Amino acid sequence: MTVFLDVLLGGVFHAAILFLVAAGLQLVFGVQKVINLACGSFYALGAYFGITAVGLASAAGFPAWTVLPVLILAGLAIGLVGLPVERILRTVYRRDESYQLLLTFGLLLMFQDVFRFFWGATPRTLDNAYLAYGTAEFMGLRVPTYNLLVIAASIAIAVALGAFLQKTRTGRIIRATAENRDMSEGLGVNSSRVFAAVFTVGCMLGTVGGALVVPASASSLEMAVELVVEAFAVVVIGGLGSMRGALAGALIVGLIRAAAIMVLPEAEILSIYLVVIAVLILRPAGLFGKAMA
């Protein structure tokens, strides 16, 4: 029972982080029709910058409990890097997908050098912050309170994002532009501005996800590529472009990963991709995806 709960909580924590990054990927794909491989870089950027921000905050005498808000703010702030990156992507919106994949893959590799330049090649950690919130007793199991807070924060962000897209004017303009960019332009929507805003929000979801993960695991040069591999599994399982798909996919991948680590750590990625292959064979559009012609 304890083992089961351990897997469950560990899996849901990882799923909460994965969901944020995958939601950013889905949002950008839904509106811009660009598969952004650089989402992994945003995640890693959030992680590195989060560590720096917490370091600065604690040097400035911020109390230990401010770690979570500092990380969220740091993630949001560094997410603004999405604006200049979107300017680069603009050149390939109307081109073939292969150009988009090549460009975003190039960005992924370039960011890796940026991290090496600013933060060095050795992994960085933020151990002491992890237990700043203590541990909580959950059905006989002691878990870091931080994990529960991150799960709660991720759920809150998911609900807020859904409400924003469904209920606000800007959200409706974004959905209209996602469905038919030309018609929206013809009705007075500046779609370039919509694209820049959406991409930046998508980027922020990734950077916040990365910032939130650092108390629990180290930031390293490999984390960007590792996350792209998982985020793609999430998107394929859930269905490209679907937010509900991102949620379901993140939970499935998070739980499988947690179970694999417990039972057979070598098979962590293998087990995830077995599910991906099964989904591709049985339901090519993903669990919540619309079938593509």
Residue with tokens 């994990």: 147
Are the C-beta atoms of 277 and 229 separated by less than 8 Å?
A: no
Q: Cα-Cα-Cα-Cα dihedral of 153, 158, 159, 163, to 10°?
A: 140
CB atoms under 10 Å from CB of 145, counted, come to 17
Task: Mark residues 76-115: x for contact with other proteins by CB under 8 A, - for none.
Answer: ----------------------------------------
161-180 binders of other proteins (CB under 8 A): 169, 172-173, 175-176, 178-180
266-285 binders of other proteins (CB under 8 A): none
Residue with tokens 């293998």: 270
Q: How far is the CB of 147 from other proteins (least distance, A)?
A: 35
Position 196 contacts other proteins (CB under 8 A): no
Position 191 contacts other proteins (CB under 8 A): yes
Q: For 219, which DSSP code? A: B
Identified binder of other proteins from the candidate list 131, 139, 187, 278, rule CB under 8 A: 187
Q: How far is the CB of 178 from other proteins (least distance, A)?
A: 8
Q: How far is the CB of 191 from other proteins (least distance, A)?
A: 7
Segment contacting other proteins (CB under 8 A): 122-130, 148-156, 185-193, 275-283? 185-193
Position 154 contacts other proteins (CB under 8 A): no
SS3 87: helix
Distance, first Cα to last Cα, the chain: 45
C-alpha to C-alpha distance for 47 and 15, rounded to whole angstroms: 16
Position 134 contacts other proteins (CB under 8 A): no
CB-based contacts of 90, cutoff 8 Å, min separation 6: 192, 195
Token pair for residue 253?
């991948």
Position 63 contacts other proteins (CB under 8 A): no
Question: How many chain residues bind other proteins (CB under 8 A)?
Answer: 18
Cβ nearer to other proteins, comparing 129 with 174? 174
C-alpha to C-alpha distance for 67 and 82, rounded to whole angstroms: 24
Residues of the shown chain interacting with other proteins in the complex, contacts defined by CB under 8 A: 169, 172-173, 175-176, 178-180, 182-191
